[in-house]
């Protein structure tokens, strides 16, 4: 018996009842950041999208939830979608969490330089620069390597057309001991996935399905796939339901297993 391909998954994450993930989130972001400058490029605005509750932000960033809450209280990385009671982090925040976590682990800044607390402004500048250079992080043909690099002192660089540039668009040497920001992130036994392509057939796009990992060229989130698998549906049955390759379904299930393994405390 053939089954009809479903058109879309059940809404998950911040699109839950009672919390609208469109205009409401936009108002919250503007309240926190101020009205976005008309000079800002679409790429930096897009990265302010995405909406992640604490457990999800921890799993994707690779930073324990307890650390994220402490940083929020201390003003180190404040969640930009909602900094109050039920905290909600954006895609840009995931980048900042990784940078701060990486910098705060044993790593001496050159010449005793003070490490930056919240690198959000530099992240946004890097995204603007990438936009000016014509690079779309989330395009289907975007390169697999990380376009954003961070050195041991917290300086951010971008990789474009084979060049390494600083935020003033000046050529620079490839930093040694660098953090490749969107690549898989491992620290203290905690592992966050690639923030662009968590698996070969999976994507993360901030403005699509609230920034949730999903199967490429669909709106089918990995959470929806994993929920069906947990109810006893086989990968083959799920693939048939959504007219998706079995390989993609297996990758979605595997990713969710990885994300569920991130500890709350470290």
Phi, psi (degrees; rounded to nearest 5) at 256: -65, -35
Task: Give the pLDDT mean for 76-87.
Answer: 90
What percent helix, strand, coil does the chain show, rounded to 5? 40, 10, 50
Q: Residues 158-177: pLDDT tens digits?
A: 998 889 999 999 999 988 88
Q: What is the pTM of this model?
A: 0.78
Q: Which structure tokens are listed for 41?
A: 């490029």
By mean pLDDT, which of 5-19, 43-57, 139-153 is the weakest? Answer: 5-19
Over 80: is that where the pLDDT of 107 sits?
Answer: no
Q: Residues 63-72: pLDDT tens digits?
A: 999 999 999 9
Angle (deg, nearest 10), helices 120-132 and 91-104: 120
Q: How far apart are CA 175 and CA 230, in angstroms?
A: 43
Q: How far apart are CA 260 and CA 65, in angstroms?
A: 12
Confidence of residue 14 (pLDDT cuts 50, 70, 90): low
Q: What residue segments make up the domains of the chain, in order of their start?
A: 13-115+182-260
Confidence of residue 183 (pLDDT cuts 50, 70, 90): very high
Q: Name the residue among 228, 202, 206, 204 with its Cα closest to residue 216.
A: 202
Q: Which structure tokens are listed for 70?
A: 């402490």
Q: How far apart are CA 157 and CA 166, in angstroms?
A: 5
């Amino acid at each position: 018996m053939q089954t009809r391909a479903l058109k879309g998954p059940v809404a998950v994450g911040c699109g839950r009842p009672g919390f609208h993930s469109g205009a409401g989130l936009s108002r919250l972001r503007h309240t926190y950041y101020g009205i976005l400058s008309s000079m800002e490029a679409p790429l930096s605005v897009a990265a302010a999208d995405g909406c992640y509750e604490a457990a999800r932000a921890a799993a994707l960033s690779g930073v324990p939830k307890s650390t994220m809450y402490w940083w929020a209280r201390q003003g180190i990385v404040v969640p930009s979608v909602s900094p109050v009671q039920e905290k909600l982090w954006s895609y840009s925040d995931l980048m900042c969490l990784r940078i701060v976590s990486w910098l705060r682990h044993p790593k001496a800044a050159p010449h005793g330089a003070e490490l930056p607390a919240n690198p959000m402004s530099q992240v946004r500048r890097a995204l603007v620069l990438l936009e000016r250079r014509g690079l779309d992080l989330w395009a289907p043909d975007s390169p697999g390597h990380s376009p954003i690099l961070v050195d041991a002192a917290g300086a951010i660089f971008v990789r474009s057309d084979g060049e390494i540039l600083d935020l003033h668009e000046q050529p620079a040497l490839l930093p040694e001991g660098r953090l490749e920001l969107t690549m898989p992130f491992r620290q203290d036994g905690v592992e966050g996935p690639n923030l662009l392509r968590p698996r070969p057939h999976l994507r993360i796009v901030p403005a699509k399905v609230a920034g949730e990992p999903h199967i490429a060229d669909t709106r089918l989130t990995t959470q929806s796939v994993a929920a069906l698998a947990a109810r006893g549906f086989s990968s083959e049955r799920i693939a048939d339901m959504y007219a998706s390759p079995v390989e993609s379904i297996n990758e979605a299930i595997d990713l969710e297993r990885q994300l569920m393994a991130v500890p709350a405390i470290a």
